[in-house]
Amino acid sequence: EVQLLESGGGLVQPGGSLRLSCAASGFNFNNYAMSWVRQAPGKGLEWVSTISGSDNKTYHADSVKGRFTISRDKSKNTLYLEVNSLRAEDAAVYYCAKKVGGVYAFDIWGQGTMVTVSS
Amino acid sequence: QSALTQPASVSGSPGQSITISCTGTSSDVGGYNYVSWYQQHPGKAPKLLIYGVSDRPSGVSNRFSGSKSGNTASLTISGLQAEDEADYYCSSYTSSGTLYVFGTGTKVTVL
């Protein structure tokens, strides 16, 4: 079964850091670009970051550039998101998502991990 | 990069057809055939309904169809059913530098 399982969310103070993880199974993780998409409580979806499958090229939304870093460990079939200098507006459910081969869309989503930013 | 514009809500009776619009610019919706649509039920992860403007993944009902004209894409749900009540989001590749942009989201209510 194709599956993505996120972990690492939690309560963090403003200015703090977390590392989110996404364990992939059931497909050839190395062949696909992977992304993080977030959703603040009661709000819409917001693309955060993408890492390519071939050359590990990374892309980040302007709102997180310089604070968040996406990476992947192909030996562990795991995607990561290092989130630093957290702000109140970063509070959200963070989903990892697999890109459809050859098309800019996400066909597999994890269940999400919640990040709460509060003092 | 601004979000793509969707109506906040759309409603219809069971069996009817409804259409949700998604308006962008020539840098995203109008410039590329990379529009996708997602359905999200409360507390659940989004589910891919349409990719590449009008293609359906295996397992998605053919009651869902997508199209595009200029800078506006559309999702049509035909034969509306109670389980279609959910939030719907469009998304597109964008050449603005941020790679992807999502729509503002539309809440579909089945009357």
Q: Which B residues 54-83 touch A at CB under 8 Å? A: 55, 57
Please name which of B104, A57, B1, A10 lies closest in space to residue A49, comparing C-alpha atoms: A57
Q: How confident is the model at residue B95, as a pLDDT?
A: 93
Please name which of B102, B46, B107, B38 lies closest in space to residue A95, comparing C-alpha atoms: B46
Cβ contact, residue pair B100, A35, below 8 Å = yes
Please enumerate residues of A whose Cβ is less than 8 A from a Cβ of B: 35, 37, 44-47, 50, 59, 61-62, 95, 100, 103-107, 109-112
Q: How confident is the model at residue A28, as a pLDDT?
A: 94
Query: In this structure, how many other beta carbons lie within 10 angstroms of the beta carbon of residue B2?
Result: 10
Summarize pLDDT for B30-76 with one digit per residue, the tens.
999 999 999 999 999 999 999 999 999 999 999 999 999 999 999 99
Q: How confident is the model at residue B97, as a pLDDT?
A: 78
CA angle, residues B49, B55, B61, in degrees to nearest 5: 45
Distance CA A8, CA A56 (A): 22
Distance CA B47, CA B50 (A): 9
Which one of A103, A113, A114 would you mutate to disrupt binding with B, by most B Cβ within 10 Å of its Cβ? A103
Tokens of B37: 């649509």
Mean pLDDT (chain B) is: 97
For A103, which of B51, B99, B105 is closest by C-beta distance? B51
Cβ contact, residue pair B45, A112, below 8 Å = yes
- Those residues of chain A that have pLDDT short of 50 are none
In the structure, what pLDDT confidence band is assigned to residue B81 with cuts at 50, 70 and 90? very high
CB neighbour class for A91 (10 Å; exposed up to 12, middle 13-18, buried from 19): middle
Contact B89, B3 (CB under 8 A): no
Q: How confident is the model at residue B96, as a pLDDT?
A: 87
Q: Measure the CA dihedral A116/A117/B1/B5, to 10°.
A: 50
Q: How confident is the model at residue B98, as a pLDDT?
A: 84
Tokens of B54: 């009008």
Q: Which of A13-17, A44-48, B9-13, B96-100 has the lowest mean pLDDT?
A: B96-100
Give A-chain residues touching B1 at CB under 8 angstroms: 62
Answer whether residue B1 shows pLDDT above 80. no
B9 touches chain A (CB under 8 A): no
Q: How confident is the model at residue B62, as a pLDDT?
A: 96
For A44, which of B1, B34, B102 is closest by C-beta distance? B102
Distance CA B24, CA B10 (A): 19
Cβ contact, residue pair A59, B1, below 8 Å = no
> What residues are paired with A115 via a beta bridge?
A10, A92
Cβ contact, residue pair A104, B103, below 8 Å = no
